[in-house]
Amino acid sequence: MKTKIQSLRDYSNDYHESVVDPEKFWSKIADNFVWKKKWDKVLDWDFETPKVTWFENAELNLTENIFERLLPTHENKTAIIWEPNDSEAAPIHLTYGELFKATCTFANALKAQGVKKGDRVIIYMPMVPEAAVAMLACARIGAVHSVVFAGFSATALADRINDCEAKMVLTSDGNYRGNKNIPVKAVVDEALDTTQFVEKVIVLKRTGEKVEMKKGRDFWWDEALEGQSDRHEAEPMNAEDLLFILYTSGSTGKPKGVVHTTAGYMVFTYYSFLNVFQYDTDDVYWCTADIGWITGHSYIVYGPLLAGATTLMFEGVPTYPHPGRFWEIVEKYKVNQFYTAPTAIRALQVHGTAPLEKFDLSSLKVIGSVGEPINEEAWHWYHENVGKGNCPLVDTWWQTETGGIMISPLAGITPNKPAHASLPLPGVQPIIVDAEGVELTGNNVEGNLCIKYPWPSMIRTTYGDHQRCKDTYFSTYKGMYFTGDGAKRDHDGYLRILGRVDDVINVSGHRMGTAEVENAIDEHPEVIESAVVGYPHEIKGQGIYAFAICDGSDKSPEVLEEEIKQLVRKIIGPIAKPEHVQIVSGLPKTRSGKIMRRILRKVASRDLSNLGDISTLLNPEVVEDIIKGAGLD
Ligand code: PRX
């Protein structure tokens, strides 16, 4: 069996084989890799506990499969191209040989600072090659990395440090983002005031701004590297040893640490990268995500490097110093595969096609989308103006928990259908169920999206709380993984993702739990109760709309609204700041005391049609007040 699918017939055959005999299928893919010890059993699982083991008792190190496996042929091939925020500044090209040495040197530095196999290391860094090196160095020594998006607040960072009891934080002095310079180290300092686990902080000099360095705790990156050898013998890891933890929001409580393990994640990210993007040996591939999200983990760092690809990392933002920056980069490096989010497409669409016309995009072969449903208008704009009508557009559906792309066209192989994630990858068995969990077979059906069989890169647990993993993903529908998304299978059998069906809002492709934002709002001393909902937003996909009761406050609603927005920004980060805050006299509640969010969603969407029956509410009178307050009367 070839690893790379080359035709629709290959796809059908491989898909069939992957369902009939998944163990045989995945063992053949896994045979591409070097193993210190082969597995005893490919898969052991039950979705009841839940317990999933791939490649049982095998031993390996993921980085050996990037370096030792590929160096004989890839030593001088560019592994990472780094384009800095400042378009005039020099880029960096790192070959596989150089990346290997950098990884080994940093691995030795981590060990010298006391990091051992199994220790948790937080990476809170800008988009610089050192961030990728840090991830790989952790994997090399068997430390578990947890990358935290550098836009999160000190409180959010502290919560994550405390949850995984991290021993070390890797960060930078500052972080360039467009025309901003974010003082990252200062955020770390503030976070560390409320945590007790971190022993050492290693700080990369990026912006050169003055930072406080605490003696005995904080070390400069260069200082840590001094005298370290660029050779390092990879730590043998069990297939199911933790590779990383990545925190993500859900519909309840604080963000949870999604756990990914070594072998299954390696096999699936490699396989999905090669097939979805149809990467060819000399291609230059660019994914615009941040390494703080799963897309950055799987499709900037691990998948592409395991496939021996040249992967581009961009430090900046799409509109700095001009709205054609993305296209300038495509031209500069002759990018062949370009992978971004619908929110970026919509934001660039606003500038029209003039910024695109200035640059030569003829190198592009494949364009991709991820993170949220792509609306048809954005799909067509992207396809016609960026892809010039002849690049396959891969609309890739997946999640932090799935580790890799689950449902997507394979570029140039699966016929393109606008706004459809289309068909599952081999090894992925999605089903649509109704509210009772009954599978809706056949075409032209719509319901909740579940996965009924394990795949190698699936979530293993939520760090430190296995029950939460079971409750969140495996309890809604017995014997299935529930995605939290709605989906539709059309008359051709192609899948279209309809968005979240739970209390998760997708803002610019970033997941936000309504409960998380409400908890932040409730920290305001004058807020008695709050409710947060999502509403359709032209650029961001969804925006955050908050309703808050602030009885007895002397402050004007305008002052309270602004204070609440700033508070959320401070507690979680700028991405969680509500677009709208409405001070209300009450929240619509059912007789059992549950907030009726359906009504709030209607108000936030400024659409009062089909408001439904409100007579069963405990307090129907507040609905009129809320509608009036929103200026909709
Ligand atoms: O609702 C789906 C949406 O993003 C959610 C996962 O978010 P996160 O874990 O942050 O991962 C984002 C990057 C993989 C999903 O539950 N989503 C992701 N990709 C798509 C999508 N919705 C529709 N179409 C997509 N292609």
Give the model's pLDDT for residue 2: 82
Q: Enter the tokens of residue 130.
A: 């050192």
Whether ligand 1 lies within 6 angstroms of the CB of 485 is answered as: yes
Using CA atoms, how far residue 19 sits from 13, 395, 454, in Å, is 10, 23, 11
| pLDDT tier at 1, thresholds 50, 70, 90 | low
Atom 18 (ligand 1) nearest CA: 371
pLDDT tier at 123 (50, 70, 90 boundaries)? very high
Q: What percent of the chain has pLDDT over 90?
A: 96
Q: What is the mean pLDDT of residues 588-605?
A: 92
Domains and CATH numbers, the chain: 65-235 (3.40.50.980), 504-629 (3.30.300.30)
Rg (Cα) of the chain, in Å, rounded? Answer: 24
| Dihedral (Cα; 581, 583, 586, 587), 10-degree rounding | 0
Percentage above 70 pLDDT, the chain: 100
Ligand 1, from 249, 372, 428: best to mutate by most atoms within 8 Å of Cβ? Answer: 372
CA 506 to ligand 1 center in whole angstroms: 8
Q: Which tens digits make up the pLDDT trace of 346-381?
A: 999 999 999 999 999 999 999 999 999 999 999 999
Tell me what the pLDDT averaged over the chain comes to: 96
Q: What is the mean pLDDT of residues 448-473?
A: 98
Contacts of 317 (CB under 8 A, 6+ apart): 85, 177, 178, 325
Reported as a single tens digit per residue, the pLDDT across 62-71 is: 999 999 999 9
pLDDT single digits (tens) 497-554: 999 999 999 999 999 999 999 999 999 999 999 999 999 999 999 999 999 999 888 9
Ligand 1 centre and the CA of 572: distance in Å?
Answer: 20
pLDDT at residue 611, rounded to an integer? 86
290 lines ligand 1 (CB under 6 A): no
- For residue 202, the CA-to-ligand 1 centroid distance in Å is 32
pLDDT of residue 253 exceeding 90 = no
Assess whether pLDDT exceeds 90 at residue 141. Answer: yes
Residue whose C-alpha is closest to residue 481's, from 465, 489, 470: 470
Distance CA 245, CA 160 (A): 10
Handedness of CA 299, 303, 307, 310 (dihedral sign): positive
pLDDT for the residue 254: 86
d(CA 286, CA 508): 19
- Please tell me the predicted confidence (pLDDT) of residue 225: 98
| Phi, psi (rounded to 5 degrees) for 2 | -80, 145
> Residue 621: which residues within 8 A CB-CB, separation 6 or more?
586
Residue 252 in this model has a pLDDT that exceeds 90: no
Mean pLDDT: which of 417-431, 588-602, 615-629 is highest? Answer: 417-431
Confirm if 406 and 495 have CB atoms less than 8 A apart: no
250's tokens: 């859900």
Q: Is the CB of 316 under 6 A from ligand 1?
A: no
- 250-267 burial, b at 16+ Cβ within 10 Å, e below that, comes to bbeebbbbbbbbbbbbbb
Mean of the pLDDT values across residues 616-633?
92
- pLDDT number for residue 614: 86
- Among 108-117, 421-430, 613-622, the least confident range: 613-622
